[in-house]
Chain A
Amino acid sequence: MSAREEILDRVRSALADVESSDVTETPIDWSYGRPVDTGDLRLVDRFAERVADYRAIVERVPAGELGATVAAALAEVDGPVVADPTVRGRLGVDLNWRDDDGLSAADLDSVAAVVTTAAVGIANTGTIVLDHGVGQERRAASLVPDVHVCIVDAEQVVSDVPEAVARLMSQGSSVRPQTWISGPSATSDIELDRVEGVHGPRTLHVIIVG
Chain B
Amino acid sequence: MTLTHAEPAPSGKPPAGHPHVGVTSTFVGMPKFPDAARIELANTTQRRNLAHATGIIRDKRASVVGELDNWEELRLAAEAIKNRTLRHLDDYLVQFEENATKAGAVVHWARDAEEANRIVVDLVRETGSDEVVKVKSMATQEIELNEALQAAGIDAWETDLAELIVQLGDDWPSHILVPAIHRNRSEVREIFLRRMKDVGRPAPEDLTDDPRRLAEAARLHLREKFLRAKVGISGANFAVADTGSLVVVESEGNGRMCLTLPETLISVVGIEKVLPSWADLEVFLQVLPRSSTGERENPYTSIWTGVTPGDGPQNAHIILLDNNRTNVLADEVGRAALRCIRCSACLNVCPVYERAGGHAYGSVYPGPIGAILTPQLRGTSSKVDQSLPYASSLCGACFDVCPVRIDIPELLVHLRTRVVDEHRGGRPTAEAAAFKAMAWMFGSHRRLEAAQKAATTSNRFFGRRKTIGAIPGPLAGWSSARDIPVPPAESFRDWWKRERGEQEPRS
Chain A residues within CB distance 8 Å of chain B: 2-4, 6-8, 10-15, 17-18, 21, 23-30, 32-33, 50, 54, 102, 105-106, 109, 122, 124-127, 132, 138-140, 143-144, 160-162, 164-166, 169, 174-193, 195, 197-201
Contacts and interface: CB of A to CB of B under 8 A. Distances in A.
Given A140-B312, A143-B253, A174-B243, A179 B77 contact: no
A132 B223 CA distance: 23
A182 B87 CA distance: 34
Interface in B324-352: 326-327, 329-330, 332
A160 B312 CA distance: 28
B378 to A, nearest CB: 17
B109 A4 contact: yes
Interface stretch (B15-23, B275-283, B398-406, B410-418): B275-283
A185 B279 contact: no
A200 B253 contact: yes
B300 A180 contact: yes
A18 B83 CA distance: 11
A132 to B, nearest CB: 6
Interface in B419-458: none
Interface stretch (B24-32, B211-219, B465-473, B497-505): B211-219
Given A189-B161, A198-B253, A199-B256, A179 B299 contact: no
A141 to B, nearest CB: 9
Contacts of A25: 87
B245 interface: yes
A122 B285 CA distance: 12
A118 to B, nearest CB: 14
Nearest to A27: B80
Interface residues of B, number: 91
B227 A191 contact: no
25 contacts: A7-B320, A8-B93, A23-B87, A27-B80, A28-B80, A30-B80, A30-B283, A32-B282, A124-B296, A138-B311, A139-B312, A143-B260, A165-B285, A169-B279, A177-B304, A179-B300, A179-B303, A180-B297, A181-B300, A187-B215, A189-B180, A190-B185, A190-B215, A195-B211, A197-B219
B489 interface: no
Given A109-B227, A175-B243, 19 more contacts: A14-B329, A15-B90, A125-B297, A138-B311, A139-B302, A140-B261, A162-B286, A165-B282, A175-B103, A177-B308, A177-B311, A187-B252, A189-B162, A190-B214, A191-B49, A192-B56, A197-B219, A198-B161, A199-B226
Given A7-B322, A192-B57, A198 B219 contact: yes
B448 to A, nearest CB: 29
Given A139-B311, A175-B103, A23 B276 contact: yes
Nearest to A184: B299
B215 A161 contact: no
Contacts of A166: 279, 282
Nearest to A17: B332
B219 A10 contact: no
A187 B161 contact: yes
Nearest to A3: B109
A180 B80 contact: no
B185 A191 contact: yes
Contacts of A191: 49, 52-53, 184-185, 211
A11 B271 contact: yes
A185 B253 contact: yes
B94 to A, nearest CB: 7
Interface of B: 49, 52-53, 56-57, 73, 76-77, 80-81, 83-84, 87-94, 103, 108-111, 115, 159-162, 165, 178-180, 184-185, 188, 211-212, 214-215, 218-219, 222-223, 226-228, 243, 245, 251-254, 256-257, 259-261, 271, 276, 278-279, 281-283, 285-286, 293, 295-305, 308, 310-312, 320, 322, 326-327, 329-330, 332
A190 B219 contact: no
A8 B94 contact: yes
Nearest to B296: A125
A18 B161 CA distance: 43
Given A175-B245, A190-B161, A6 B76 contact: no
A13 B330 contact: yes
Contacts of B302: 139, 177-180
A15 B297 contact: no
A18 B322 contact: no
Contacts of B211: 190-191, 193, 195
B329 A11 contact: yes
A189 B166 CA distance: 11
Contacts of A21: 88
B76 A179 contact: no
A11 B326 contact: yes
A200 B111 contact: no
Contacts of A165: 278-279, 281-282, 285
Contacts of A10: 322, 326
Contacts of A124: 296
Contacts of B53: 191-192
Given A175-B245, A182-B295, A188-B293, A33 B279 contact: yes
Given A181-B300, A198-B252, A169 B278 contact: yes
A7 B326 contact: yes
B89 A15 contact: yes
Nearest to B328: A14
A23 to B, nearest CB: 5
B251 to A, nearest CB: 5
